[in-house]
Chain A
Amino acid sequence: RKEVEQDPGPFNVPEGATVAFNCTYSNSASQSFFWYRQDCRKEPKLLMSVYSSGNEDGRFTAQLNRASQYISLLIRDSKLSDSATYLCVVNLNTGFQKLVFGTGTRLLVSP
């Protein structure tokens, strides 16, 4: 089983739609969780951290369910510029030594 699993997509949605991505992780000792965004052949960029209580940043909402080892990202009012690959990232310790990246979920937002 992969350490971090994501549905690769692509998710094709129209502008203005709400879309949700899910991610599961296998190591129950994982300490921290993040969503990164990666455009084609570009470097990943941190989108947001994921906290146990859930957190929101504008149109983006992240949720964590430790019991189910499940992370989600919700994007409301999708924009064309949201088209990218969204990477679920899990940190296996409290430092930075073991960040594990999922394969990513590709999102395509169309006019």
Chain B
Amino acid sequence: GAVVSQHPSRVICKSGTSVKIECRSLDFQATTMFWYRQFPKQSLMLMATSNEGSKATYEQGVEKDKFLINHASLTLSTLTVTSAHPEDSSFYICSAPGQAFKGKLFFGSGTQLSVL
């Protein structure tokens, strides 16, 4: 079945550094990729929607200059957290809809980011 491969699964970095998270769709083409963030005991919050070949659409309150999204091909979308700070520490997860969407999103395995 369709799989979304996300890595790294865990990142620990110093404040001020940039972190890149990759999501690849395996065996299917993902023209759209959703990026979510989840803080402990909170719901998945949609940050942005990336579309292959065009600019990402950011949700209200999400800084596009801080969270850079690139959807360079039909199988790869990346999220770069620039100049990370401790408050950016969170669980980041991507997902892509299947071709016959019926509520089923294919999720990556998530990235736990810890900024010291």
Contact = CB atoms under 8 A, between A and B. Distances in A.
Interface string A24-39: 0000000010100000
A42 B41 contact: no
Interface in A37-95: 41-46, 49, 87, 89, 91, 95
A45 B95 CA distance: 11
Contact of A32 (B43, B49, B95, B103): B103
Interface string A1-27: 000100010000000000000000000
A1 to B, nearest CB: 14
A88 to B, nearest CB: 9
A5 B32 CA distance: 27
B9 to A, nearest CB: 9
Contact of A91 (B32, B103, B108): B103
Contacts of A8: 41
Interface of A: 4, 8, 32, 34, 41-46, 49, 87, 89, 91, 95-97, 99, 101-104
28 contacts: A4-B43, A32-B103, A34-B103, A41-B110, A41-B112, A42-B109, A42-B110, A43-B95, A43-B108, A43-B109, A43-B110, A44-B44, A44-B105, A44-B107, A46-B104, A46-B105, A49-B103, A87-B44, A89-B103, A95-B101, A96-B32, A96-B101, A96-B105, A99-B34, A99-B103, A99-B105, A101-B45, A102-B43
